[in-house]
Chain A
Amino acid sequence: MNNLATKSSQILTSSDIENLARRFGGKSDDYIEIMNTQKNQKTINKYALLKEIDDAIKTSKDKK
């Protein structure tokens, strides 16, 4: 089974939805995008530089 998670509302795809809601009405807050974190992690692990950057970002987040 896939591991699914939601993205925060600050990302681009959400702002696109906000734009649509502004033009045509409706609530952009109702929009939740689903992404596959497992697939993303697999891609990151596949390439050494991506893995290094990901590890560095996770470490800096942990320090905060």
Chain B
Amino acid sequence: MQRIFIKGIKGGIGSTSIVANLACVLKKSDVDVVAIDLDAKSDLGLHFGLKWTTTKGWSNEDTFEDALLHFRKDSDGVVFLPFGDNEATLDDITSIINNCKNLDYKESAWIIFDCPSHINISHYPLDQNDIVIELVTCDAICHSLIYKRLQTLKTVESTWKHFFVVNRYNAASVLEFDLFSLWQSTLPLMAPFFINSDEVIKEATANRNVALNCAPYSVANDDFETLAGWLVSKAAF
């Protein structure tokens, strides 16, 4: 299984929307896709049509065997595991990540983790085939955070594949154009494309769905297909 860890470099960057939309685009290729919610906000399920009143998830269970009961499948065939409404420690999250390795899926399957922004990715049990995507927006604070992250990545023995992907890009903004151009030509690990800011993503969520189903010819869906294709080129299959 190819494991993908997606997190925002800061809060509110849209990692959950990216996980849900990416999962559905990958599923279109007729491969198994599993999405795991590691964020205590526990809102990944809402993108997949989970009822708002369904609040339980893996954090409510003591063992992985019990947590298995919370796996669900959406209408596109994406299997997902909600976080739930209990507190979880870093050890609990580590345990879930490790236990997911034992899920009975083919080598061609994708498992995507929606990670909270406040937990440093280096605390997760990552190996050399794992892909970590840190989402950024084109603003000066993210510029600062990227440089800080690059400095910390130098100090840890990071064997995983680490990338930055720009989300919510506004093509009309001079500042965003300046920053994206600068990052593209100077920053290591920056993906060579961006996810455009598109109302479709928010509208799809409001309609309990993803861009692929609500607006298959939208800019947003094109961007998610680009992201999926790029990940295929990075995967260790």
Taking Cβ atoms with an 8 Å cutoff, the residues of A that contact B are 7, 10-13, 16, 19, 35-36, 39-40, 43-44, 46-47, 49-50, 53, 57
CB of B127 within 8 A of chain A? no
Instruction: Assess the A53–B147 pair: CB atoms within 8 A.
Output: yes
Assess whether A40 is in contact with B188, with CB atoms less than 8 Å apart. no
Give the interface centre of A12, A19, A36, A46 by most chain B CB atoms within 10 Å. A12
B163 at the interface (CB under 8 A from A): yes
Whether A12 touches B191, Cβ cut-off 8 Å, given contacts A19-B233, A43-B178, A57-B147, is yes
Interface check B140, CB cutoff 8 A:
yes
- A49–B144 touching, CB < 8 Å: yes
Which residues of chain A are near B178, meaning CB under 8 Å?
Answer: 43, 46-47
Which of the 9-residue segments B42-50, B116-124, B179-187, B211-219 touches chain A? Answer: B179-187
| Closest residue of B by beta carbon distance from A35 | B185
Complex contact A49–B143 (CB within 8 A)? yes
Asked whether, in the complex, the Cβ of A10 is within 8 Å of the Cβ of B143, the reply is no
CB <8 Å contact, A10 and B192: no
| Pairs of residues from A and B, 6 with the lowest C-beta to C-beta distance, nearest first | A35-B185, A11-B188, A49-B140, A43-B178, A43-B182, A12-B189
The distance from the CB of A61 to the nearest CB of chain B, in whole angstroms, is 11
Q: Is the CB of A12 within 8 A of B143?
A: no
User: How many residue pairs at the A-B interface have CB separations less than 8 Å?
Assistant: 42
Residues of A within 8 A of B143 (CB): 49-50, 53
Contacting residues, chain B, for A46 (C-beta < 8 A): 178
Residues of B within 8 A of A (CB): 140, 143-144, 147, 163, 175, 178-179, 181-182, 185-192, 233-234
- The reply to whether A36 and B144 form a contact with Cβ atoms under 8 Å apart is no
A64 to chain B, nearest CB (A): 12
User: Does more than half of chain B's interface fall in helix, strand or loop, or is it mixed?
Assistant: helix
Report the nearest A residue to B177, measured CB to CB.
Answer: A43
Tell me, in angstroms, the Cα distance from A36 to B186 when the chains sit together.
10
CB of B192 within 8 A of CB of A12, answer yes
Assess the B182–A12 pair: CB atoms within 8 A. Answer: no
Cα(A46)–Cα(B182), bound, Å: 12
Find chain A residues with CB under 8 A from B175 CB: 47
Contact indicator B191/A44 (Cβ below 8 Å)? no
Are B185 and A50 within 8 A (Cβ)?
no
Name A46's closest neighbour in chain B (CB-CB).
Answer: B178
Please state if B188 and A12 are interface contacts (CB–CB under 8 Å): yes
**Residues in chain B near residue A36, CB distance under 8 A:** 185
Closest chain A residue to B185 by CB distance? A35
How near does chain B come to A15, taking the closest CB pair, in angstroms?
9
